[in-house]
Amino acid sequence: MFLLSFLLIPIIAAIVLLFIKQDSKAQVVAVGAALLSLFAAIYIITNATGAFDAAWLPVLNSRFVLQTDGLSKILILLTAISFPAIFIATGKNIVENKNVFLSLMLFTQAGLMGVFLAGDALLFYFFWELALIPVYFLCSIWGGEKRIAVTFKFFIYTFLGSLFMLIGIILVYSKTADHNFLIESFKHANLSSAQQAIAFALFFIAFAIKMPIFPLHTWQPDAYEQSPTAVTMVLSAVMVKMGLYGVIRWLLPLFPAAANGHAIMVIDLSVIGLLYASFIAIKQDDIKRLIAYSSIAHIGLMSATLFTNRIIGTQGVLIQLFSHGINVLGLWIIADIIEQQTGTRSMKNLGGLAKKQPTLAILLVAFAFANIALPLTNAFIGEFLMFNSLFQYNPWIAAAAGVSVVLAAIYTLNMVQKVAYGNISESVDKMTAPNKNAQGVLIVLIVIVFVTGVYPQPLFELTKDTLQQLFVK
Amino acid sequence: MNAIIVSALLGVLLMFCSWGIKSERLQKNITLIGFLVLIVANLAQLNGWYVIDFDTKGMLSFSRFGLYANTLLFIVTFLYIWINAEEVDQIGHQSGDFYALFFFILCGASILTSFDNLLMLFIGIEILSIPLYILTGADKKNLLSNEASLKYFLMGSFSTGILLLGIAFIYGATGSFRLEAPQIVPSKGFAIEQYLLSAGLILIFAAMNFKVSAAPFHFWTPDVYDGAPTVFTSFMATIVKSAAFVAFVTVFHGQAKSLGNSWELLLSFVIVATLLVGNITAVFQRSVKRMLAYSSIAQAGFMLFALYGVSDFANEGLLLYMVVYSLATIGIFGVLIKMKEYSFEAFHGLGKSHPLLAFLTTVFLMSLAGIPLTGGFFAKYYMLNAIMVAGAGLWLVIVAILFAAISVYYYFKLIQAMYFVPGTPAIKEVDKIYTYKLLVVAILLLVLGVFPNLLFNYLYF
């Protein structure tokens, strides 16, 4: 029953927000709801909660099942941290019709929570779409200049992907013993190997578009660049995790044989994408695009590791899901502060941040270190485990993927150098007093970065049960 | 039986009403009350109470499915008139006549949901079609409306001729008009009867495809839908099409097996052609009304899935699709009627000036596109499930899905026009009550989008 609160809190708040015209009040309601979800998330992590199960569509035998395990909990925690952080950090930004904006954001949150909680395939599909639709409106209304075309491309891409998943769901459903959508029945569906391969492909397309895996990534950099930054944060910190979550929760357990058979293809594509994105990131001048490509690279590494199907690799991914979210969130918040105060995202026009705003520059450097997975930061432990797993699978692939670490250092440090050091440029000179709220959020995030970097044990504990389910038969 | 008699009587009553009663408001109210009477009469029969009960000698048979389909059609029509009555009044001098025609059309529809004999199929189709020819040409001073009416009449007559020819062939082969006549068994080698039966069924198939505007018999649709007064287009594209689909399914669920394997081939061809023509052409339309005409062809392609095989999914899915598609289409036409012109540009800035109306339009469009949380999603889901259960190839499902994705393109183009492009919409004055009426339709769609089973509970108990 308690799990229902993850859906109800944001949805109720979102509906209430539609009737609050005053910006400051709307902001308070949104932050309040987001913090309430965060407390709820902390509660389910520290206390055991039962699954929620109610009849939904008796005709189809679909049930409204919400359940949690380590994988869900870690992503719920990430979602629950991200939303208040985003609301507080970008609260000062001027947005037209702010209450509608915040309301749509909270609907997105409800959709995301639903995706991570659903234990029934049809329900999962439902939330999968529900998370997408508000984002479509958020980007198209409040986005940049080319927003309409870019968002439409993003929408059609992901919608087509999820339609393929729907066919997959129908296919597996028709082969389950007692015709229902529960994940357990799906695992024991009676599929021939040919059918399993088809179903695998259908699910995989949906997840691959969402992650995204090369060559299905083309929607992403444009969408990240054109979306309002608050939405970009949601997209890259939380929403891409939907794809990885789908792989871990549905794809690998449902079609183990097919996943094994296609592993080499997926790993190759992921590694190609990883290198490709890293090289492109080096050439970027726009901070937002740079972070976008860097994010594609990180996701590529995670998806490659998942398909090696080894326990240490999967452990690494589970931790990295959380760490990557926190790190990229930090980078986006810094990028947003810079853009809001200087009016530019082009690194050519930036420089001298360290002299003008030392605190912000220090935070930037810290998050940059986390982005290249330096020891002591949270990303290190995850990447270490992932490379370990890749190496066990195939040393050559690990070596190829390893190049990306070097490339990541190049583009990240290059950005730090151009933005933070050098003479104070004209646009940086315009920067006014630091944005206290945003810096507060950044400090909280950086604490998380180092605490989980030095002492990741709680994250290991949290995800133990998922690994057991996946690997101990 | 009740529905057929009561709707015919009400039709006659309304016809004379326009003679004696001059107040359009009163006529509208009589019509709405008439619909309630009709719904009650039909429900009474569902519970075993007849106005007149006699042996129809195998002409009609009343299944729960047919009666329930009737109920749904009547309820949707009731909503349609409740929303659109004022617009109907603005066309021609005597709106009472139009109301009478609606009742006659529903009389035809009631026959189409309960026939057990191919002659009754023919009669039902005719009763349904002839008032439609008149409604299409109702806007007498508009040349386009006249053209549409004439075109529809000529093409419709041809298709009815083909239907009759098919029925005659089947009679020749089996010696009976009954739907469930004993199938002829070819004695040895060639049996001319077998060919006659197949030819007859294919001719009926073609004629029915014409009635539901499936490709390659769809050519009349865009012109007629575009030319007819918008209120009546909304009626033709929804209730009439749904009734024709019920008849279509009734004939072919029983008879398809005598066509053997070629049935699936034939049907797949028509489905793919319909989806292709409807969706691809809709993408290029510059007028919203024409886009909706093509979209209605595309939607018919999805409904054709119900023919693929007999299953609960097919029957339930058809009912759900009928209702959801009709509600969404009535809703979107309800908005369109209020526009001064039908181009996409006319919708620019609607999100700002009429937030609620724009939101409702979005719900209708999303339902047509089959996005979850709206009824359209489950309607499409049931149809896909139906062909999966019937053992169609996966390729057909994938083709359908690809076209569904294309349909998102043109439906969302309208959403983009409303919300993301600034401008002043070319819209007539819309009063609050009218918007609230549309809100009711949107709420129904959203409820069906979460609990589609509400619709089926009544089908079985």
**Mean residue pLDDT across chain B:** 87
Closest Cα in chain A, distance from residue B247 (Å) = 25
- Residue A136 shares a structural domain with residue A38: yes
Structure tokens at A149: 């075309």
- Residue A230 shares a structural domain with residue A325: no
* Confidence check: pLDDT of B461 > 80: no
Q: What percent of chain A has pLDDT over 90?
A: 5
Q: Rounded to an integer, what distance in angstroms lies between the CA atom of residue A131 and that of residue A239?
A: 8
Closest Cα in chain A, distance from residue B402 (Å) = 7
- Interface probe for A, chosen from B315, B319, B361, B381 (most Cβ of A below 10 Å), is B381
What is the per-residue pLDDT across A393-413, written as a single tens digit (0 to 9) for each?
A: 888 988 988 888 889 999 999
* Confidence check: pLDDT of A141 > 80: yes
Cβ–Cβ < 8 Å for B288, B336: yes
What is the per-residue pLDDT across A329-378, written as a single tens digit (0 to 9) for each?
A: 998 988 888 888 888 888 888 877 878 888 888 888 888 888 888 888 88
Q: What percent of chain B has pLDDT over 70?
A: 97
The number of folded domains in chain A is: 2
Across the interface, which of B405, B412, B451 has its CB nearest the CB of A160? Answer: B405
Closest Cα in chain B, distance from residue A59 (Å) = 6
- Residue A215 shares a structural domain with residue A277: no
- Provide the pLDDT for residue B207: 93
Contact B451 A57 (CB under 8 A): yes
Among A226-230, A289-293, B184-188, B455-459, the range scoring the smallest mean pLDDT is: B184-188
- Provide the pLDDT for residue B298: 92
* Confidence check: pLDDT of B260 > 80: no
Contact A148 B398 (CB under 8 A): no
Q: Which residues contact B41 (CB under 8 A, 6 or more apart)?
A: B2, B3, B6, B51
Closest Cα in chain A, distance from residue B289 (Å) = 23
For residue B450, give the amino acid letter: V
Contact B373 A148 (CB under 8 A): no
Model confidence band, residue B204 (pLDDT cutoffs 50, 70, 90): very high
Contact A167 B402 (CB under 8 A): no
Among B21-25, B112-116, B138-142, the range scoring the smallest mean pLDDT is: B21-25
Contact B420 A170 (CB under 8 A): no
For residue B345, give the amino acid letter: E
Contact A171 B388 (CB under 8 A): yes
- Provide the pLDDT for residue B189: 55
User: With contacts defined as CB-CB under 8 Å, which chain A residues touch B316?
Assistant: 59
- Residue A224 shares a structural domain with residue A119: yes
- Provide the pLDDT for residue B438: 92
Contact A155 B409 (CB under 8 A): no
Domain boundary among A237, A254, A271: A254
Q: Rounded to an integer, what distance in angstroms lies between the CA atom of residue A386 and that of residue A397?
A: 12
Task: Work out the average pLDDT over B305-326.
Answer: 87
Across the interface, which of A152, A155, A170 has its CB nearest the CB of B388? Answer: A170
Q: Which residues contact A92 (CB under 8 A, 6 or more apart)?
A: A340, A435, A437, A438
Helix (H, G, I), strand (E, B) or coil at A373: coil
- Provide the pLDDT for residue A310: 86
Closest Cα in chain B, distance from residue A98 (Å) = 14
User: With contacts defined as CB-CB under 8 Å, which chain A residues touch B455?
Assistant: none
Helices (H), A247-286: 252-254, 256-283
Helices (H), A284-377: 287-308, 311-342, 353-356, 358-371
> Where would I find the beta strands (DSSP E) of B6-149?
none
Domain boundary among A254, A288, A312: A254
Contact A59 B456 (CB under 8 A): yes
A203-223 burial, b at 16+ Cβ within 10 Å, e below that, comes to bbbbbbbbbbbbebbebbbbb
- Residue A317 shares a structural domain with residue A439: yes
**Best-predicted range by mean pLDDT among A121-125, A422-426, B256-260?**
A121-125
Model confidence band, residue B186 (pLDDT cutoffs 50, 70, 90): low
- Provide the pLDDT for residue B419: 86
Task: Work out the average pLDDT over B310-334.
Answer: 89
* Confidence check: pLDDT of A472 > 60: yes
User: With contacts defined as CB-CB under 8 Å, which chain B residues touch A147?
Assistant: 420
User: With contacts defined as CB-CB under 8 Å, which chain B residues touch A156?
Assistant: 405, 408-409
What is the per-residue pLDDT across B122-162, written as a single tens digit (0 to 9) for each?
A: 999 999 999 999 999 888 888 888 999 999 999 999 999 99
Q: Which residues contact A295 (CB under 8 A, 6 or more apart)?
A: A220, A224, A236, A240, A324, A328
Across the interface, which of A60, A148, A167 has its CB nearest the CB of B398? Answer: A167
Size of interface A-B (CB pairs under 8 A): 67
Closest Cα in chain B, distance from residue A137 (Å) = 9
- Provide the pLDDT for residue A462: 84
- Provide the pLDDT for residue B327: 94
Task: Work out the average pLDDT over B453-461.
Answer: 74
Contact B401 A137 (CB under 8 A): no
User: With contacts defined as CB-CB under 8 Å, which chain A residues touch B421?
Assistant: 148
Closest Cα in chain A, distance from residue B380 (Å) = 11
Domain boundary among A196, A225, A254: A254
What is the per-residue pLDDT across B68-83, written as a single tens digit (0 to 9) for each?
A: 898 899 999 999 999 9
Residue of A nearest to B420 (CA): A141
- Provide the pLDDT for residue B182: 55
Model confidence band, residue B190 (pLDDT cutoffs 50, 70, 90): low
Task: Work out the average pLDDT over B39-55.
Answer: 80
Which residue is associated with the tokens 């709707």?
B7
Which residues numbered 389-418 in B keep a CB inside 8 Å of some CB on A?
389, 394, 397-398, 401-402, 404-405, 408-409, 412, 416
Contact A140 B419 (CB under 8 A): yes
- Residue A105 shares a structural domain with residue A175: yes
Cβ–Cβ < 8 Å for A314, A467: yes
| Greater pLDDT, A104 or A473 | A104
User: With contacts defined as CB-CB under 8 Å, which chain B residues touch A155?
Assistant: 408, 412
Task: Work out the average pLDDT over A213-235.
Answer: 84
Contact B402 A141 (CB under 8 A): no
Model confidence band, residue B187 (pLDDT cutoffs 50, 70, 90): low
- Residue A360 shares a structural domain with residue A245: no
Contact A166 B384 (CB under 8 A): yes
Nearest to B216 by CA among B260, B149, B272: B272
Model confidence band, residue B185 (pLDDT cutoffs 50, 70, 90): low
- Interface probe for B, chosen from A15, A64, A150, A170 (most Cβ of B below 10 Å), is A170
* Confidence check: pLDDT of B165 > 90: yes
Contact A159 B456 (CB under 8 A): no
Contact A140 B408 (CB under 8 A): no
User: With contacts defined as CB-CB under 8 Å, which chain A residues touch B394?
Assistant: 167, 171, 198
Structure tokens at A304: 């490659």
Contact A59 B452 (CB under 8 A): yes
Closest Cα in chain A, distance from residue B307 (Å) = 19
* Confidence check: pLDDT of A101 > 90: no
User: With contacts defined as CB-CB under 8 Å, which chain B residues touch A205?
Assistant: none
Q: Rounded to an integer, what distance in angstroms lies between the CA atom of residue B129 and that of residue B109?
A: 10
| Greater pLDDT, B144 or A179 | B144
Which residues numbered 286-345 in B keep a CB inside 8 Å of some CB on A?
316
What is the DSSP secondary structure assignment for residue B259, as one 8-state letter? Answer: G
Model confidence band, residue B177 (pLDDT cutoffs 50, 70, 90): confident
Cβ–Cβ < 8 Å for A349, A427: yes
Range of the domain at A167: 1-254
**What ipTM describes this predicted complex?**
0.85
Contact A152 B416 (CB under 8 A): yes
Which residues numbered 435-454 in B keep a CB inside 8 Å of some CB on A?
451-453
Among B147-151, B264-268, B441-445, B451-455, the range scoring the smallest mean pLDDT is: B451-455
- Interface probe for B, chosen from A11, A60, A125, A133 (most Cβ of B below 10 Å), is A60
Nearest to B232 by CA among B145, B155, B153: B145
User: With contacts defined as CB-CB under 8 Å, which chain B residues touch A137?
Assistant: 419
**Beta bridge partner(s), residue A221:** none
Contact A126 B398 (CB under 8 A): no
Helix (H, G, I), strand (E, B) or coil at A69: coil
**Mean residue pLDDT across chain A:** 86
What is the per-residue pLDDT across A280-336, written as a single tens digit (0 to 9) for each?
A: 988 888 888 888 888 888 888 999 998 888 888 888 888 888 999 999 999 898 888
- Provide the pLDDT for residue B460: 66
Contact B401 A167 (CB under 8 A): yes
Task: Work out the average pLDDT over A89-105.
Answer: 83
Residue of B nearest to A125 (CA): B372
* Confidence check: pLDDT of B238 > 60: yes
Helix (H, G, I), strand (E, B) or coil at A302: helix
Within 10 A of B23 (CB to CB), how many other CB atoms are there?
A: 9
Among A101-105, A461-465, B103-107, B344-348, the range scoring the smallest mean pLDDT is: A461-465
Task: Work out the average pLDDT over A214-229.
Answer: 83
- Residue A163 shares a structural domain with residue A286: no
Q: Rounded to an integer, what distance in angstroms lies between the CA atom of residue A293 and that of residue A450?
A: 24
Contact A57 B420 (CB under 8 A): no
User: With contacts defined as CB-CB under 8 Å, which chain B residues touch A173?
Assistant: 385
- Provide the pLDDT for residue B184: 61
Contact A174 B388 (CB under 8 A): yes
- Provide the pLDDT for residue A382: 87
What's the number of CA atoms in the CB half-sphere (13 Å) around residue A79?
Answer: 33
